[in-house]
Amino acid sequence: MSANEINILETPILTVSDSITLRPSELDDAEIYLQMVADNHDRLSEWLSAPMPPTTVEERRKAQAADLARGKDGKGHWWLIEEDGDLAGTIAFHNIEATNRLAMVGYWLADGFTGKGIMTDSLHAIIDWAFSELNLIRIEIQCSITNRASCAIPERLGIQREAIRRQSEIKKGVVLDMASYAALADNWPPKPPARQYPHFEIRVDDEILLRQGIETDRDDMWKALDAGRDYIRKYLPWMSAYKTEADHTAGLNTRRNEADNFDGSRGYIIEYNGELAGAVGFGTPKRDNDIEIGYWLRLDLQGRGIVTRSVGKIIDMLIHEMGLHRITIRADTSNLPSRGIPERLGFKHEGTMHDGGYVNNEYMDLEIYSMLDHEWLKRSKNS
């Protein structure tokens, strides 16, 4: 076999752990498998194209045979997931492309088996097998961005989210944006990113310390966000997703994983006189050496220059130590306190992006500000 060809193999039994086994689906599984589909249909149909299975044994065997036929000739591999002998769900490679040596992954778990790490371990096992035995070089996974449980599975394995495919699928009449993830053979298991924070802590002045977030910040962060909910949700789209503390915890964990493994963004907690006051961060540097800064602050601490001083220190680091050329800040037109930050720091107002933001089901105009490296260096020299 050429190094550039895939292997055509029978679907093997894979032992994931002492309690989890992946076994090839067979025709005789029709009754038990399709009953599991029927039992979970209402939940699954929100995310998957899963028609209600037929009710008779004969029709279920026909449906099972049709599904198995789609995996013949090396075009797919389909496993049933068993936990301690109980049928827990399914995972499969489909749309295998021999020419490009890639495949798509699909998976789901039955009610009662989620939250145990079963699917994360199962996905890890089949990717190991695909790279080592099938000679694939790329595995793709697509999940609705609102299906947090499904997205968390590749994210926990460090698999990179490459894009969001907007309005690319319709389920039950709802148009979905799909997150697209990819695991690559030459980076498996995924290695941590080469670029780390320039500093763990940045001392702004006697009152303000910027530092990386730690696990114990979670409670203070939630209290600050929840107390300022009415104000924050007016301008920041992610706040509406944090209806409960559990929502915030899940979102924070996802965001940390994205920043650490995928998108290169970075953030700092703002401490003001030893208390958590807010946060300031920056996105992924773009190809043209451009980066965007964002921030938020507790409502009760506004008007003290905390964010202005913090952002100024972040800009110093980005330009002096990281070599960025252009810094961008966007602010809602009506958010005068937020707009005041770049204006006080001498940013150039480039214009208005009409309907450039979408928060609380409404479009908003955004004011665009920019600062170039030579402008900041000149300003610093003259100040």
Query: Tell me, what's the pLDDT at 214?
Result: 78
Considering 34-48, 187-201, 340-354, the range whose residues carry the highest mean pLDDT is 340-354
**Which residue is listed with tokens 């145990």?**
116
The architecture (CATH level 2) of 14-187 comes to 3-Layer(aba) Sandwich (3.40)
Decide: helix, strand or coil at residue 86.
strand
Task: Cite the residue boundaries of each domain of the chain with CATH code 3.40.630.30.
Answer: 14-187, 201-382
Q: How far apart are CA 372 and CA 283, in angstroms?
A: 16
Check whether 120 has a pLDDT greater than 90: yes
Q: How far apart are CA 319 and CA 298, in angstroms?
A: 27
Check whether 50 has a pLDDT greater than 80: no
Whether 78 contacts 67, CB under 8 Å? yes
Per residue in 54-82, pLDDT tens? 888 888 888 888 888 876 777 899 999 99
Query: Tell me, what's the pLDDT at 254?
Result: 65
Q: How far apart are CA 40 and CA 136, in angstroms?
A: 32
Query: Tell me, what's the pLDDT at 343?
Result: 97
Decide: helix, strand or coil at residue 367.
strand
Query: Tell me, what's the pLDDT at 238?
Result: 65
More confident residue, 259 or 167: 167
Q: Both tokens of residue 208?
A: 């303000």
- Overall average pLDDT of the 230-239 stretch: 72
168 pLDDT tier (thresholds 50, 70, 90): confident
User: How far are the Cα atoms of 129, 199, 368 from residue 329, in angstroms, in the given order?
Assistant: 45, 22, 6
Handedness of CA 259, 263, 266, 267 (dihedral sign): negative
281: which strand partners? Answer: 267, 294
Give φ, ψ of 258 to 5 degrees: -60, -45
Give φ, ψ of 7 to 5 degrees: -90, 140
Give φ, ψ of 200 to 5 degrees: -75, -40
Check whether 10 has a pLDDT greater than 80: yes
* Sheet of strand 208-211: strand arrangement: 201-203, 208-211, 266-272, 275-282, 290-297, 326-332, 362-372, 348-359
Handedness of CA 325, 271, 225, 244 (dihedral sign): positive
Q: How far apart are CA 129 and CA 15, in angstroms?
A: 11
Q: How far apart are CA 231 and CA 219, in angstroms?
A: 19
Helix (H) or strand (E) holding 364: strand 362-372
- Specify the amino acid at residue 200: F
Q: How far apart are CA 135 and CA 3, in angstroms?
A: 8
Q: Alpha helix locations (H) across the chain?
A: 30-39, 41-44, 57-69, 118-129, 148-156, 217-227, 229-232, 245-258, 306-316, 336-344, 373-382
Q: Judge: domain 201-382, CATH 3.40.50.720.
A: no
Per residue in 244-274, pLDDT tens? 877 776 766 666 655 554 445 578 999 999 9
296: which strand partners? Answer: 279
User: How far are the Cα atoms of 88, 103, 247, 279 from residue 75, in angstroms, in the given order?
Assistant: 24, 9, 39, 48
Percent of the chain with pLDDT over 70: 90
Query: Tell me, what's the pLDDT at 15?
Result: 97
Q: How far apart are CA 1 and CA 9, in angstroms?
A: 13
Q: 95: number of CA atoms within 13 Å, CB side?
A: 9
DSSP-assigned letter for residue 187: G
